[in-house]
Structure 1
Amino acid sequence: MDAAVIVLSFVVGLFGVASAVLGFIAERTKLTPRDIDVDFYTGECQYPANPAYLLALIAVPLLAVAQVIASLAAGCCGCCRPRHGASESKRVAGIIAAVLSWIAAFLAGAFYAEGAVWNFPVTRWNDTWCRVLNDGVFRRAALLSLAATVLSIASYVMLRARAPSSTPSTAPAPAAAAGTSGPKPDVPPPSGEAVAIPLAQWSGSSQQGRGHGQEPLPEVPRHHVVGGYGRAPYRQLDSPPRRQAQPAVEVMMA
């Protein structure tokens, strides 16, 4: 859980619990029939000052602040989809919890208001009897405050939860998909086309082929260059022996 979620849940819970504690204290300090001064001749009912009135007035805004903080942090009770993106099931559960928390908060506020009205220091006239607040009104308000706080925190946590992300596959990707080129079979070029192979690439590929156990390519036979079609290879003929000049013999005719 994120630190921000923990801190905000603590703040919301602090306000909600404070409202509930004030409700329980107000239940113990509320007016009782013995505290009311009754004038039987005029029919006046004098309600004295009482701390339960102020406690109820403080408990209502505390509960309201807790609800507003939780609702805004959860994305307007889930109506505004948050950026982190909760799953659909948690989003629906969070919205339901947020709606229930607001219903409980409104009921708690109504009970607090009723208790504050009947503990307000004022003089009332009545012909028959002086009304007093029943027992358990502030207690119900305090319990509803706790319920509203718990529901609002649960709604906030569910709406803040991230959807489970699909784990990527650990299978190795093929060489073509990964962008690496594997060894390709040697395909002879079509007839009539010349292919230029750099010397470095030829030597590297030959060494790589020898490393993988490939047989060396056969040596191409070499032929003597002929002068033309249908001619015998040029052969240098030996020149005929030259005759040496015979010395002139003069015949002396006798």
Structure 2
Amino acid sequence: MDTQVIVLSVVADIVGLVSVILGFVAEKTKIKPSEIIVNDFVYCDYPTSSVLGMAISASLMLILAEVLIAIAGSCCGCCRTNAAGTGKSVVGIVLSVFSWFAFTTSFILFLVGAVNRGVNWQHLKIGDDCPLSSHLPGIFAGAAVLAFVAVSLGTAAAFLLAATPGSSSQYAQGVEMGRPQFQVPSNGTPPFNRPTI
């Protein structure tokens, strides 16, 4: 197995773990109903919290981890030579697709959870309670779990795609790369005869 795949996968796992930790910490520190202050019996003042920064940081770390995994797996296995058709490559591609689905869902959950979280804002009081509909329970924990699933599946896919035979990134045999070379005919005329004007 290529050392580049191992190094990229380990770095992606560390960055993904940071994203997961930030997701669980954001879940723990989000605004609770007891922290909301009611002003003039009409407005609910939601306090400033660090959840916005944690959610944005977790989503950026998740993007970085998924990009590193995609590089390690050579673009979900599509950019590898002679890798299609083997059992490991098919399983690797399927795992990579599921990894991208989990990544997308986790990223969306992080962003939905970050909306109106880090700034001081007011909302009209409805009835006797302040609305907490935007404070969905478990949204950051769910995003963190899906981030862990995305990174785990992506790493497994990268290792499976790297282990397939013929999966190195070398050029195909017999194909020359570079500028085309034209042979001058033996009669001395140039290869392209241009009419003179």
CA distance in 2, matches of 1:75, 1:4: 11
Would you say the 8 A contact 2:22–2:58 is kept in 1?
A: yes
Range 104-113 or range 83-92, more displaced: 83-92
CA distance in 1, matches of 2:62, 2:31: 23
**Residue-by-residue CA offset, 1:133-166 (whole Å, 9 max, x unaligned):** 13211111111010000011011111111329xx
In the other structure, the counterpart of 2:182 is none
In the other structure, the counterpart of 2:14 is 14
CA distance in 1, matches of 2:14, 2:109: 21
Letter in 2 for 1:18: V
Aligned pairs for 1:231-242 (under 5 A) are none
Larger RCO: 1 or 2 (CA < 8 Å, sep 6+) = 2
3-state SS in 1 of match to 2:118? coil
Aligned pairs for 1:1-254 (under 5 A) are 1-41=1-41, 43-80=42-79, 82-83=80-81, 85=83, 88-128=86-126, 129-132=129-132, 133-163=135-165
CA distance in 2, matches of 1:25, 1:61: 16
CA distance in 2, matches of 1:26, 1:125: 22
Runs of 4+ in structure 1 deviating by more than 6 angstroms, as ranges, are none
CA distance in 2, matches of 1:87, 1:8: 25
TM-score by length of 2: 0.75
**Residue-by-residue CA offset, 1:2-27 (whole Å, 9 max, x unaligned):** 43222111111011110000001111
Letter in 1 for 2:15: F
TM-score by length of 1: 0.59
Unpaired segments of 5 or more residues in structure 2?
Answer: 167-197
Across the two proteins, how many residue pairs are aligned to each other? 162
3-state SS in 2 of match to 1:46? strand
Structure with max Cα Rg: 1
Unpaired segments of 5 or more residues in structure 1?
Answer: 165-254
**Residue-by-residue CA offset, 1:60-115 (whole Å, 9 max, x unaligned):** 010011111111332221222x1474762111111111111111111111211122
In the other structure, the counterpart of 1:222 is none
Identical positions, percent: 35
Larger helix proportion, structure 1 or 2? 2
3-state SS in 2 of match to 1:124? strand
